[in-house]
């Protein structure tokens, strides 16, 4: 015979499980409805994309970039970037030994593929501007990669925000000031998070100190993808 105490416990656990499943289902919706986290002028939408949206997006990006594969540019300093990059859209960010610029083609001569509609929709939902981006940089972070503190300032103007989408392993994102140095704040970005850098954050220093390689199973071989959407021209 079921003891009164056990029955009570069963109900409690069942309730907890039901609540947990509902939370999972509505997590992305809730993240959007609750609005972004604010760090100065950096807006961070937690888990903006659901897991199924993330999976579909990774596959879409993989197919679209088949002829414009990620590569490791050599910078003006002569150092090779640890992160691999490629682009979508009319303008692709293309650092080389002469400096930083935007170009219409991959170094192999192939024009960048268009920015996927699903990515443009993210911009439309969070950017709070009418103009669409013409540039989408895709960074791939493997094990032991990082991105030094920098400003995004190779664009023709700074009136539009920068929107970035995280996919895969967690990354320690550091947010600084519009001049180098000073106090910074850091947050672990997770797969599906979207960051909007507008206002004072548009020209604020930021970087990725490290990733937690293998913390996500979204990418088959581990690592992290970051999409950076910008109005470049
Ligand atoms: C960047 O600012 O270039 C990339 C930021 C990120 O990977 O989250
Ligand atoms: Mn940047």
SS (H, E, C) the chain: CCCHHHHHHHHHHHHHHHHHHHHHHHHHHHHHHHCCEEECCEEEECCCCCHHHHHHHHHHHHHHCCCCCCECCECCCCCECCCEEEEECCCEECCECCECCEECECCCCCECCCCCHHHHHHHHHHCCCCCCCCEEEEEEECCCCCEEEECCCCCCCCCCCEEEEEEECEEEEEECCCCCCCCCEEEEECCCCEEEECHHHHHCCEEEEEEECCCCCCCCCCCEEEEEEECCC
Confidence of residue 34 (pLDDT cuts 50, 70, 90): confident
Number of domains in the chain: 2
CB atoms within 10 A of CB 212: 14
My answer on whether 7 and 42 are in the same domain is: no
Are residues 102 and 202 located together in one domain of the fold? yes
When pLDDT is averaged across residues 71-93 and rounded to a whole number, the result is 96
Q: What is the pLDDT of residues 186-205, one digit of tens each?
A: 999 999 999 999 999 999 99
Instruction: Establish whether residue 173 lines the binding site of ligand 1, counting it when its CB lies within 6 angstroms of any ligand atom.
Output: yes
Arithmetic mean of pLDDT, 56-75: 97
CA of 206 to the centre of ligand 2 (A): 6
Which atom of ligand 1 is closest in space to residue 164's alpha carbon? 8
* Ligand nearest to C-alpha 150: 2
- Nearest atom in ligand 1 to the alpha carbon of residue 162 is 2
Do residues 176 and 117 both lie within one domain? Answer: yes
- How many A from CA of 177 to the centre of ligand 1? 15
Same domain, 26 and 41: no
Asked if 124 and 17 sit in the same domain, the reply is no
Residue where the block lists tokens 């970005």:
189
Pocket mutation for ligand 1, best pick of 138, 172, 207 (most atoms within 8 Å of C-beta): 207
Give the residue numbers spanning the domain of 23. 1-34
Residues 98 and 184 in one domain: yes
What pLDDT band is residue 23 in, cutting at 50, 70 and 90? very low
Q: Which ligand is nearest to the CA of 171?
A: 1
**Residues 27 and 61 placed together within one structural domain of the fold:** no
Same domain, 133 and 98: yes
Q: Is the Cβ–Cβ distance between 122 and 61 less than 8 Å?
A: no
Q: Is the CB of 139 under 6 A from ligand 1?
A: yes
- For residues 61-89, give the mean pLDDT: 96
Q: Is the pLDDT of residue 9 over 90?
A: no
Q: 147 C-alpha to center of ligand 1: Å?
A: 7
Looking at the structure, tell me whether residues 136 and 172 fall in a common domain. Answer: yes
pLDDT band at 172 (very low <50, low <70, confident <90, very high): very high
User: Which are the contacts of 11, defined by CB distance < 8 A and separation ≥ 6?
Assistant: none
User: Which residue's alpha carbon is nearest to atom 8 within ligand 1?
Assistant: 226
Domain CATH for 74: 2.60.120.590
Task: For residue 59, report the distance from its CA to the centre of ligand 2, in Å.
Answer: 24
> Does residue 115 sit in the same domain as residue 192?
yes
Cβ-contact 25, 166 below 8 angstroms: no
Domain identity same for 25 and 99: no
Look at ligand 1, atom 7, and give the residue with the nearest C-alpha.
Answer: 226
Task: Tell whether 19 and 43 lie within a shared domain.
Answer: no
Query: Which pTM was predicted?
Result: 0.86
């Amino acid at each position: 015979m079921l003891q009164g105490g056990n029955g009570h416990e069963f109900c409690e656990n069942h309730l907890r499980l039901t609540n947990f499943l509902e939370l999972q289902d509505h997590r992305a919706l809730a993240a959007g409805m609750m609005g972004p986290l604010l760090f100065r002028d950096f807006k961070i939408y937690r888990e903006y994309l659901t897991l199924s949206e993330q999976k579909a997006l990774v596959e879409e990006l993989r197919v679209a970039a088949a002829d414009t594969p990620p590569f490791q540019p050599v910078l003006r300093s002569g150092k090779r970037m640890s992160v691999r990059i490629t682009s979508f859209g009319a303008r692709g960010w293309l650092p080389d030994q002469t400096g930083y610029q935007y170009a219409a083609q991959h170094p192999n001569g192939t024009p960048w593929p268009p920015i996927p509609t699903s990515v443009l929709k993210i911009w439309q939902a969070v950017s709070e501007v009418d103009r669409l981006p013409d540039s989408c940089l895709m960074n791939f972070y493997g094990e032991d990669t990082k991105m030094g503190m920098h400003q995004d300032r190779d664009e023709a103007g700074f009136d539009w925000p920068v929107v970035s989408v995280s996919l895969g392993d967690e990354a320690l994102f550091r947010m600084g000031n519009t001049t180098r140095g000073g106090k910074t704040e850091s947050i672990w970005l997770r797969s599906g998070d979207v960051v909007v850098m507008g206002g004072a954050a548009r020209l604020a220093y930021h970087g990725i100190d490290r990733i937690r390689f293998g913390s996500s199973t979204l990418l088959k071989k581990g690592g992290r993808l970051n999409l950076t959407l910008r109005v470049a021209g």
